[in-house]
Structure 1
Amino acid sequence: MKTTFPAPDAPSPWPSPTSPMPSPGRGRPGPFPRGRSRASWWNRVLAVLLDSALVSSVAWFATGSAPSFAALPTWGAQDPPLAPESTVWVGWTMLGLAVLQAYTGATPGKRVARIAVVDAGSGRPIGLLGTVLRWLAHFLDAILMLGYLRAAWHPEGRTFADSLLGTVVQHTVRPRPHRWVAWCRQQRDRHAPWLRWPPVVTSTVALVVCAAAAAGSLTAGGGSAESAADATTSCVSTGPFAATAMVSSSVSSSWESRLGVERTTEQSWRVAAGWSTGLGLDATDNPDVTVGEAVLSVRSADGRTYAAASPSDEGEDPLWWSMPDQVAATDLEAPEDVSGWDARVVLLDDDGEALAECTAPVPAVEAVGSP
């Protein structure tokens, strides 16, 4: 007689309700598995400085304008404000850094500092959405910088953003790969194994990029210059007071030099106008009034307008050319080239009533670059 025995039950993949939960060092990675430690606060500071230098250098070499600090959010306005084209370059560079951190855990600065941002549970990079949300959550850290400082004493080195998003910063250059990255590596190993390269190559490239960015963020030289239009334009009063207005313009340029590359960092245009009762006019019939001040505004063909915020300081002549029988003068500054715009000049008496006014084109002026 053949005796059979029941086969033992297959082990369940799920733990028994009474079995102890696995510790971080055994069944699941946890925030800091064996061989991985918490990133030091100073390494994180180094990474932020290097990434900020990278963003600043890219924007400066592209446009001549760069933010002073960009890798992490802070409260307060940029001074001086960034030009629109510089803001675009900063945005695209920040997006590139976000993608790198989202799927590899590290930006170039973090790679040099040998740290990586990962999910505390899986130990993998957190993807693009999580990276963007973590960056936005840093605005909470930026309140009195408390959140950033919190990482120095928190047991797991977490800022408020890390606690909200469930992330930690490990001291490693090879975190567990993101699932998408792991799949891409499998396809590479299967179809193009010759594309593999050792991790030292990636670290070396990151070091070279950060070193160049740090050098590019240092100003080696610079200067400024101002040039004026070669000629003036004029118009004759249409009011009860016979006078002639003369208009001219100038441009001020500042530039910097970094790594042998020069970029214009700031430009401003100035338009000045003055009233004269000479210049061949018969002013004998002018009313006996006390002349007050001149008012100046410029207007483009599409309706953009700039006006003097206030009259020139008393005792200071805003004109850089001589004008016979001058009775009043003023000037204004504009952030763009206003050559060819219509300059409207008005002469007021002490009571603010218009005595004379006319319109003349703003003469063209060419900016002077570095010597």
Structure 2
Amino acid sequence: MTATHGPGEDHAARAARAQLAAALRARADTAARSTVTPAEAERAGTYAGLVTRTVAYVLDAAVINLVAFVVGAAAALALSIFDLSNALQTAVTATLAAVYVLWAIAYFAAFWSTTGQTPGARVMRIRVVDAHGGRGLKPRRALVRVAGLVLATIPLFAGFLMMLWDRRRRCLQDRLARTVVVHAPPQVRLVRRHVTPDRHAGAG
């Protein structure tokens, strides 16, 4: 006997197929949106805030000044045995000041163009990355970011406060260098162990 289907059953079957197709399309769209690179996954919704970045900046400033103090004290101690004229003392002071500026620039530029993390940023677990691809910075862009850091500091730190109105929490230096600062969770360290083969494993 051949079963017959009424119009109502055909309509219900078509509605069920349409719902199934819609569910499959929605699942495919969700999968497409979730297929992102690790850098994009790290950046999404994890932009570092003002307090975290301020603490990292203070820590970096402390490191820079501590090293400069030690070097300056050592230079002053070494030169104290000589009777330098006023002009020579002025030249030495100007030289040390120039070295301090170069040291501060090299400090930020070197870390940003290599690991993206200064020591202060590493303590606070944040990283500077490219705003579009999540990659590291080239030295030239790192220097642009250093210049932006200086400009952001001059007008009463207004260049930092602008992040409060930015969706990606970018400061002036981030806009100039096209960067963002993201939270960087610690990497899992893989420990390899040498396994000594058991001589009796194959013995029956």
Question: Shorter chain as normaliser: what TM range?
Answer: 0.5 to 0.7
- Answering whether residue 64 of structure 2 is matched by residue 55 of structure 1, we say yes
User: Which has a greater percent of strand?
Assistant: 1
- 3-state SS of paired residue (1:38): coil
- Answering whether residue 163 of structure 2 is matched by residue 151 of structure 1, we say yes
C-alpha distance 24-103 of structure 1, shift in aligned 2 (>3 A)? farther
Q: Note if contact 1:29-1:122 (Cα within 8 Å) is conserved in structure 2.
A: no
Q: Which residue of 1 aligns with 2:129?
A: 118
C-alpha distance 83-162 of structure 1, shift in aligned 2 (>3 A)? same
Instruction: Work out which of the residue numbers 119, 142, 161 in structure 1 matches 2:173.
Output: 161
Partners of 1:37 and 1:169 in 2: how far apart? Answer: 9
Residues 127-178 of structure 1, C-alpha deviations (whole Å, 9 max, x = no match): 2111101111234423342211112342111012212322100011569xxx
CA RMSD of superposed structures (Å): 3.3
Partners of 1:32 and 1:150 in 2: how far apart? Answer: 25
Q: Note if contact 1:116-1:171 (Cα within 8 Å) is conserved in structure 2.
A: yes
- 3-state SS of paired residue (1:103): coil
For normalisation by structure 1, the TM-score amounts to: 0.34
Q: Once the 2 structures are TM-superposed, how far is the Cα of residue 56 of structure 1 from its aligned partner?
A: 0.5
Partners of 1:147 and 1:139 in 2: how far apart? Answer: 9
- Runs (4+) of structure 1 exceeding 3 A deviation are 22-25, 27-36
Count of residues paired in the alignment: 142
C-alpha distance 102-62 of structure 1, shift in aligned 2 (>3 A)? same
Equivalent positions of 1:1-371 (< 5 A) are 25-28=34-37, 33=42, 37-64=46-73, 83-92=94-103, 94-142=105-153, 143-173=155-185, 198=189
Q: Note if contact 1:134-1:161 (Cα within 8 Å) is conserved in structure 2.
A: yes
C-alpha distance 61-29 of structure 1, shift in aligned 2 (>3 A)? same
- 3-state SS of paired residue (2:113): helix
Q: Which has the higher contact order (CA 8 A, sep 6+)?
A: 2
Asked which structure has the greater CA Rg, the reply is 1
Q: Once the 2 structures are TM-superposed, how far is the Cα of residue 40 of structure 1 from its aligned partner?
A: 1.7
Gaps of 5+ in 1: 1-19, 66-81, 176-196, 200-371
Partners of 1:115 and 1:85 in 2: how far apart? Answer: 31
Q: Note if contact 2:145-2:177 (Cα within 8 Å) is conserved in structure 1.
A: yes
C-alpha distance 148-35 of structure 1, shift in aligned 2 (>3 A)? closer
Partners of 1:94 and 1:25 in 2: how far apart? Answer: 39
